Amino acid sequence: MEQMIPFNKPYITGKEAHYLYKAVESGHLSGNGQFTKRCQAYFEERWGFKKTLLTTSCTDALEMCAMLINIQPGDEVIVPSYTFVSTALAFARQGAHIVFADSRTDHPGIDESILEALITTKTKAIVPVHYAGIACDMDKIMDIADRHNLFVIEDAAQAIDSYYRDKPLGSIGHLGTFSFHETKNIQCGEGGLLAINDERFVQRAEIIWEKGTNRAEFFRGEINKYGWVDTGSSFLPSELNASFLFAQLEELDNIQNRRKEIWQNYYDGLKEWARKNKVELPVVPDHATNNGHMFYMICPSNKFRTLLIDYLKKQNINPVFHYLSLHKSDYYTHKYKGNVLINSDMYSETLVRLPFYYDLHRQEAIIDDIKSFSITSF
Ligand SMILES: *Cc1c(COP(=O)(O)O)cnc(C)c1O
């Protein structure tokens, strides 16, 4: 019997052990050492972020954002309901009331056209999520934010090396966050990045990053003693994570090319089948690029999705679905007072993600198995 094709398999470039050894050899294993600096320099040079800080996760980077914009109990933050928990949690734990927005009909990203109706005098920020690495309409979102004096924090967890009209995602809002969790394009097990695009946040971000101390300034020789000056936490990863991540960054173009190829193979291989079965394949709007983060399909019904997943599991293929609308989560449902979010619920019930990783060897077999599925055969 063929081996199970998993949903995800973290890619290892082969250089990780070498750089880990270098980090060990250097004698500096805690955070903010040479590899942290090399990774941050790479991000700043390649994508033009004003300042970046490695974090232990994207969740941590989002928590730093909540602290940086001074979220207070009662403040409102607009977040799509169809997203990973952290997008909302990071702000909710600082006391924000989360105002959930619906998704677009053609794409799981936030519906820009309904945002303005959700703004009140208590609104502090909008947190668009670039789902599947595909850009939200950032011109529209930034325009709304400017007119209402709101912060924009891009949850670019899935959006490394992806663009909105030639601008790198994560570089457009006041702040942007990335994830290097093992399910993302480049990874170090658990890891993340805060991109700071608004100069006003740079100095304080370093303090929040280092347990509320001005340690970073001290080590640059800018001040002669350091101490507790603000809120914060231990958001910086050790050099072990940073050295691992550096190996991945060096291979980024190779990884991206391979992932885009996998994406295109799925798209070309499934197009005809999808049309016949009323399944929708991903849409990449003109303003966006595709970074090969994931391949998803929208099934015509929840029943279709269940039958398809069961069918593929019998062929030893492991597709997954995700995101129970956050406004319906156990934690938030009793606090939610907004409208029914039709599209978010629709994606929760019908979206399925196909196995997607660098070493995906039997993609033709997966495509053939999907093409042999039709709901009329049940
Ligand atoms: C993966 C992901 C996160 C969380 O990233 P971590 O690094 O695991 O904290 C947040 N938001 C989105 C949209 C994600 O896909």
Distance 208 CA to ligand 1 centre (A): 20
57-79 confidence digits (pLDDT tens):
999 999 999 999 999 999 999 99
Fold of 252-377: Aspartate Aminotransferase, domain 1 (3.90.1150)
In tens, the pLDDT along 304-337 reads 999 999 999 999 999 999 999 999 999 999 999 9
The pLDDT value recorded for residue 156 is: 98
Which residue out of 59, 85, 323 has the highest number of ligand 1 atoms within 8 Å of its CB and is therefore the one to mutate?
59
The partner residues of 351 in beta bridges, in order of sequence, read 298
Strand partners for 43: none
If pLDDT is split at 50, 70 and 90, which confidence band does 378 have?
Answer: low
- Asked if pLDDT for residue 1 goes beyond 70, the answer is no
Which of 62, 91, 158, 294 most suits a substitution to test ligand 1, by most atoms within 8 Å of the C-beta?
158
pLDDT tens sequence across 207-265: 999 999 999 888 889 999 889 999 999 999 999 999 999 999 999 999 999 999 999 99
Which part of the chain is CATH 3.40.640.10? 16-250
Nearest Cα to 324, choosing from 149, 152, 100? Answer: 100
CA 97 to CA 327: how far, in whole Å? 12
Residue 251 CA to ligand 1 center (angstroms) comes to 22
Atom of ligand 1 nearest to the CA of 83: 13
Give the CA angle between residues 181, 185, 189 to the nearest 5°: 25
**Sheet with 175-179, side-by-side order of all strands:** 51-55, 192-196, 175-179, 151-155, 123-126, 76-80, 97-101
The residue whose C-alpha atom lies closest to atom 14 belonging to ligand 1 is 157
What is the pLDDT, as a whole number, of residue 374? 87
> Read out DSSP for 44-75?
HHHH--SEEEEES-HHHHHHHHHHHTT--TT-
pLDDT, one tens digit per residue, over 169-186 is 999 999 999 999 999 999
Using the atom order of ligand 1, give the atom closest to the CA of residue 190.
7
Looking at the CA of residue 191, tell me the nearest atom of ligand 1: 7
* Per-residue pLDDT at 2 exceeds 80: no
Contacts of 325 (CB under 8 A, 6+ apart): 81, 82, 100, 341, 344, 345, 348
Of 85, 181, 184, 235, best ligand 1 pocket probe by most atoms within 8 Å of the beta carbon: 181
What is the pLDDT of the chain when averaged over all its residues? Answer: 96
Give CATH for domain 16-250. Answer: 3.40.640.10
Q: What is the pLDDT at residue 332?
A: 96
Q: Which residues line ligand 1 (CB under 6 A)?
A: 57-59, 83-84, 86-87, 129, 155, 157-158, 179, 181, 192
Inform me whether the pLDDT recorded for 152 exceeds 60: yes
Q: Could you read off the pLDDT of 33-61 as tens digits, one per residue?
A: 999 999 999 999 999 999 999 999 999 99
Q: Is the pTM of this model over 0.85?
A: yes
The arithmetic mean of pLDDT across residues 130-134, rounded, is: 98
Going from the Cα of 179 to the center of ligand 1, the distance in angstroms, rounded, reads 6
Q: Are 367 and 266 in contact (CB under 8 A)?
A: yes
Q: Say which amino acid occupies 114.
A: I
Q: What pLDDT does 376 receive?
A: 72
Distance 228 CA to ligand 1 centre (A): 30
**Interval between CA 59 and ligand 1 midpoint (Å):** 6
pLDDT at 377: 53
CA distance 101 to 99: 7
Protein residue whose Cα sits closest to atom 8 of ligand 1: 181
Residue spans in the chain of domains classed CATH 3.90.1150.10 = 252-377
Per-residue pLDDT tens digits for 272-298 = 999 999 999 999 999 999 999 999 999
- Distance of CA 84 from the midpoint of ligand 1 (Å): 6
Q: Could you tell me if 251 and 43 are in contact, meaning their C-beta atoms sit under 8 angstroms apart?
A: no
DSSP string, 74-113: T-EEEEESSS-HHHHHHHHTTTPEEEEEPBPSSSSSB-GG
